[in-house]
Amino acid sequence: MEHQNCTLCLMDITDLDIEFDSEGVCNHCGDAAGKIHNYQFSKGDSEANLRNLATKIKKGQRGEYDSILGLSGGVDSSYVAYLAKQMGLNPLCVHFDNGWNSDVAVKNIKNIIDVTGFDLYTYVIDWPEFRDLQRAFFKAGVVDIEMLTDHAIFASLFKIRKDHKITTVLSGTNYTTEHGMPRKWSWGKMDLKNIKAIQKQFGEMKIKSFPTMNTLYWLLMRQFNFGGTFEEPLNKINFRKGDAMKVLAREFSWQYYGGKHYESVFTKFYQAYILPTKFGIDKRKMHLSGLIRNDELSREDALSELKKSLYDEYELKRDKAFVLKKLGFSESEFDLMMVKKPIPHDFYATDQTYILPLIKFAKFFFKSSN
């Protein structure tokens, strides 16, 4: 197949499902053209949106905290913490420690808590169990090894929310920096059936303490506010990553860690080495394309950024040795996994075959009932 790039962004045929129109514009740009204006606001509208959201959250408060916020030390969650302070909220901040924190992330979180005065709850994962899960996903050959962390973050967050009688979950998810994810570059984060199937086949331990949540329960909370509300403040303001980083640096002496989600040592190694090496995926194409569509970056500057090496040679050698030692893989064993043919997630048991029809039915049912 002849290589083809989008004429507006950086996406190309490494996204196996990509489509181009007659002008060479990809389907991700086409989709964003019809939606991104819904997430671009004037300063006045942004302020009004946050005031209204703060009123709504405080009105629904039932316990000591009016909301709960997952705090990783990255741009998105850190900026939500900043907004929460500006809105006069009192969230319980929760940090999920999966054993892969970078020093920069730990320092960012400490600075944010010190300045805001928010309470911090650190959820420490059972490392031997989590390690066994990660090893199983490597052996399974699937693309979304990070779904384990994402799954556990939300599952633990909602459990803590329930324990503290907190109604509102504040999330850093947002359209402007996260839209355009190719379907085959990730998997349903709440697919517990898939996690269990892979662990059963390749793991050596039973899932006992690992926090879990099934897809149906997740969707009921996300789509229909089952048990509380799920709020995305960054979708209610004119969120621009560059501007947010400047504010965070000024207010919290916050430091950037070099790439989206690189606040985790494992995530950096996963995105900058595992994905391009085994799966031919460079996630920078998606992340930079989002900034292009949000008018934060020119295509020319994005292309220059893409030409930079994914990894400094010394850092790659250091991080690879660290990750392999921590996971208990020999270098030859790991390198062999990197050259083996990828296996799709749905090769193993999954709930995705029935969940989409269920979503459509639920939306139709609730719409008909109102």
How far is the C-alpha of 302 from the C-alpha of 239, rounded, in Å? 19
How far is the C-alpha of 290 from the C-alpha of 179, rounded, in Å? 7
- Kindly state the tokens that stand for 271: 């995105």
Residue of 74, 293, 274 lying closest to 180 (CA atoms): 293
pTM of the model: 0.91
Helices (H), the chain: 27-33, 43-59, 75-86, 103-116, 127-140, 147-163, 175-178, 192-202, 215-224, 241-252, 265-269, 284-293, 299-306, 313-327, 331-339, 352-369
Residue-level pLDDT at 296: 94
Residue of 233, 210, 290 lying closest to 89 (CA atoms): 233
Is 23 a member of any domain? no
Residue of 227, 248, 245, 308 lying closest to 272 (CA atoms): 308
pLDDT means per 10 residues, the chain with 370 residues, are: 89 96 97 94 96 96 94 94 98 94 90 98 95 98 96 92 93 92 93 96 96 83 74 96 95 81 83 96 96 95 95 94 97 97 96 72 57
Is 152 a member of any domain? yes
How far is the C-alpha of 103 from the C-alpha of 263, rounded, in Å? 8
Q: Residue written as tokens 């329960």? A: 217
Q: In what order do the strands lie in the sheet with 67-70?
A: 119-124, 91-97, 67-70, 168-170, 229-231
Is 28 a member of any domain? no
Residue of 170, 171, 294, 283 lying closest to 242 (CA atoms): 294
SS3 323: helix
Residue-level pLDDT at 365: 56
Is 347 a member of any domain? yes
Report the domain count for the chain: 1
Is 124 a member of any domain? yes
Question: In the chain, what is the greatest distance between 2 CA atoms, to the nearest angstrom?
Answer: 60
The CATH code of the domain that includes 158 is 3.40.50.620
SS3 144: coil
Residue-level pLDDT at 258: 66
Helix axes 147-163, 127-140, angle to 10 degrees: 140
Give the range of the structural domain holding residue 80, as residue numbers without chain letter: 40-366
Helix axes 241-252, 75-86, angle to 10 degrees: 70
Is 24 a member of any domain? no
Helix axes 103-116, 241-252, angle to 10 degrees: 70
Contact present, 123 and 97 (Cβ < 8 Å): yes
Within 8 A by CB and 6+ apart from 211, the residues are 123, 151, 152, 155, 156, 159
Is 183 a member of any domain? yes
Residue-level pLDDT at 121: 96
SS3 166: coil
How far is the C-alpha of 261 from the C-alpha of 269, rounded, in Å? 11
Is 169 a member of any domain? yes
Residue-level pLDDT at 254: 95
For 218-254, give the DSSP string. Answer: HHHHHHH-TTSEEE-GGGGTT--HHHHHHHHHHHH--
The distance in angstroms from the start CA to the end CA of the chain is 49
Give phi and psi for 229, each to the nearest 5.
-115, 150
How far is the C-alpha of 228 from the C-alpha of 169, rounded, in Å? 8
- Kindly state the tokens that stand for 245: 């980083």
